[in-house]
Structure 1
Amino acid sequence: MLPIRQVKPKNARTKRFLDNKAPQNTENPRTTLFLKYSSTSEVVQLVLTDLHALKRPLAVKFSKKNPIHPFEDATSLEFFSEKNDASFMVYASHAKKRPHCLTLVRLFDSKILDMLELLVDPETVRTLSQFKNEKARVGLKPLLSFSGSAFDSPTVNAYTLAKSMFLDMFKGPDVEKLDVEGLQYIMNFSVEEEENGGVKPMIRMRCYLIRTKKTNSNLPKVELEEMGPRLDFRVGRVKEADPDMLKEAMRKPKSTEAKTKKNIETDIIGDKIGRIHVGKQDLAQLQTRKMKGLKRSRDVADDEEAFAGADDMDIDTPIEADKRMRMEVS
């Protein structure tokens, strides 16, 4: 496939469109593109529809079939990413070796960054329509919860990659403030402990509505009601990110980095700590708390002056005074 030609702006509208697609200090939220292979099962199509419903409005779904093999040749996916300005993809397929397969694809600069293959367990699938209750409103940010030590492993593996991809897929736009009324549902991803030499544990995805009920106290009672979909995944193939490409993707622009100030630091809690350099202090001039009991009276001042005047007079010692008295007697 030929590379995409470089478009030169001919008017202000085209220039604004190209500037919007260029790298930004604060990137736009990820748009997810949903695609399907030439052969897909009914189960994986229902899963694709439910994931698209949860991701709206930052989602684009293609209805045509695309004979693409992501782990072999992903140039077509890069083309779709460039044309639709989508940095995340969910590709559905079905084959004898890999039945009911979802491939999560993350892109950087319209190039494949990393990929993860998830195989859906058809026996445990429950769609959104099978839960007869209200659904969360379109465009709301969900609460994301991850349960299991595999998600927090210090070494990079398929489960840490799955956690990173689910976060990028469902976190939505970055906001500074969030209304509590907007927290309407939670998505929980759980994984069991991995046994030595056993089969890799499955990733279980559950979605719940958050219900608040009145109580006698000021705090409401919070209950969870499952709204769907209910999905279980088995981990398949993994394509890790290239180190150089990952370093470039994680690079932060200098304009967003806070300028370091001399002798000013921030601790773990977020409090600002400063270091001040002062000269040598004269404690004799130290101003203490003023109290009437500490104030010197006039009598004390007169006594001190009398003692000071006596120091200047010649005063005999006791021995000299004794000699003088003997001489006078004799």
Structure 2
Amino acid sequence: MAALERVLKPKTKRSKRFLEKREPKLVENVKNAMLLKGGNANCTVTQALKDIYALKKPYAVLYKKKNITRPFEDQTSLEFFAKKSDCSLFIFGSHNKKRPNNLVLGRMFDYHVLDMIELGVENFVSLNDIKNSKCPEGTKPMLIFAGDAFESSEDYKRLKSLFIDFFRGPAVPCVRLAGLEHVLHFTALNGKIFMRSYKVLLKKSGCRTPRIELEEMGPSLDFTVRRTHLASDDLYKLSLKQPKTLKQKKKKNISQDTFGTTYGRIHMQKQDLGKLQTRKVKGLKKRPAMDGPESSSKKPRHV
């Protein structure tokens, strides 16, 4: 039995907190990513991993030592590192004569490999090669996808989902305009995928709305899709399943119009207005003069 699979009771408060972080939660934490390289990674793959790590920080772990493994043949080492570092996303970089400048992008489900797509890097421009200002660490990027292949091809659909899962960052309740300063653009054209990274510059426009300009800051990568390892439809559907407590219950008899006004429908039984209790006021009491016309014609007798 592996050391990570043993069931141990925590003896200290620190180990107890560590195990509580690993427990299943209704609302998941931000997905962490691990970046590791194979036994024969070259300078291009190593620098590409460092640049992607710079975009993903602080929700990433970069392994600097080489790991001799083949993800499409044996996935046990990836699953071991994923469980050790509590990461559900990974990028594995390698280089050989048959597949030069190779990056394997994938994700885990229950610490087992769910999806893997192998990408070949053809053109690469590093962050250091572009001498422009960079975005601060931890900036949440805006993701833009262009190309019909992301909607028509099943492999490209899953690759789009992988890119979104990898770069979207933490979920936030509100967005500040000045915080929207990083754009990741993915274009699918002629069997290739072009990844570009831009910094958003807000310029003066003479009115309240600023003028927006995009300045390339790197990294810049051109990908080609090679091998794929996709999960079955049943397993993929199981990974998307949410607990019942998170699902919002449908409210009956409530509707909204085009202007956002909420209307509620109330069901009531038939009411008998004759028995309706009203407020008792002295001015509404009956008087002798109101009994009828005959009573008003009679005069009191004198004794």
| TM-score of the two chains, using structure 2 as the length reference | 0.83
Which residue of the partner structure matches residue 170 of structure 1? 167
Q: Distance in 1 between matches of 2:112 and 2:260?
A: 37
Which residue of the partner structure matches residue 195 of structure 2? 205
Q: Distance in 2 between matches of 1:72 and 1:252?
A: 31
Which residue of the partner structure matches residue 179 of structure 1? 176
Q: Distance in 1 between matches of 2:202 and 2:254?
A: 44
Shift of 1:13: 3.1
Q: Which runs of 5+ in 2 are unaligned?
A: 273-303
Shift of 1:279: 6.0
Q: Distance in 1 between matches of 2:246 and 2:38?
A: 41
Which residue of the partner structure matches residue 220 of structure 2? 230
Paired residue secondary structure (1:46): helix
Alignment of 1:1-330 (within 5 A): 2=2, 4-121=5-122, 124-153=123-152, 157-192=154-189, 201-264=191-254, 272=262, 274-277=264-267
Q: Percent identity?
A: 44
Residue by residue, what CA displacement relative to the aligned partner does 1:237-286 show, whole Å, maximum 9, x if unpaired? 1111133432332111122111233333578997655444456799xxxx
Amino acid at match of 2:50: T
Residue by residue, what CA displacement relative to the aligned partner does 1:208-250 show, whole Å, maximum 9, x if unpaired? 1111111222221111111111100000111111334323321
Q: Distance in 1 between matches of 2:150 and 2:257?
A: 27
Q: Structure 1 14/67 Cα, relative in aligned 2: closer, same or farther at 3 Å?
A: same
Query: Considering only aligned residues, what root-mean-square deviation do their CA atoms show, in Å?
Result: 2.3
Q: Structure 1 269/116 Cα, relative in aligned 2: closer, same or farther at 3 Å?
A: farther
Q: Which has the larger radius of gyration?
A: 1
Q: Structure 1 100/271 Cα, relative in aligned 2: closer, same or farther at 3 Å?
A: farther
Q: Distance in 1 between matches of 2:193 and 2:48?
A: 15
Q: Distance in 2 between matches of 1:40 and 1:92?
A: 7
Q: Which moves more between the two structures, 130-139 or 178-187?
A: 178-187
Q: Structure 1 25/224 Cα, relative in aligned 2: closer, same or farther at 3 Å?
A: same
Q: Distance in 2 between matches of 1:100 and 1:89?
A: 16
Q: Structure 1 186/244 Cα, relative in aligned 2: closer, same or farther at 3 Å?
A: same
Q: Which runs of 5+ in 1 are unaligned?
A: 195-200, 283-330
Pairs aligned (count)? 271
Shift of 1:161: 1.3
Paired residue secondary structure (1:125): strand
Amino acid at match of 2:124: V
Residue by residue, what CA displacement relative to the aligned partner does 1:52-106 show, whole Å, maximum 9, x if unpaired? 1111111111111111111111001100011100111100001122110000120
Q: Structure 1 267/162 Cα, relative in aligned 2: closer, same or farther at 3 Å?
A: farther
Bigger strand fraction:
2
Amino acid at match of 1:166: F
Q: Distance in 1 between matches of 2:88 and 2:98?
A: 28
Q: Structure 1 276/134 Cα, relative in aligned 2: closer, same or farther at 3 Å?
A: same
Paired residue secondary structure (2:18): helix
Q: Distance in 1 between matches of 2:73 and 2:113?
A: 12
Residue by residue, what CA displacement relative to the aligned partner does 1:262-318 show, whole Å, maximum 9, x if unpaired? 333578997655444456799xxxxxxxxxxxxxxxxxxxxxxxxxxxxxxxxxxxx
- Structure 1's consecutive aligned runs of 4 or more residues displaced over 4 angstroms after TM superposition are 265-273, 278-282
Q: Structure 1 42/23 Cα, relative in aligned 2: closer, same or farther at 3 Å?
A: same
Paired residue secondary structure (1:45): helix
Paired residue secondary structure (2:125): coil
| TM-score of the two chains, using structure 1 as the length reference | 0.76
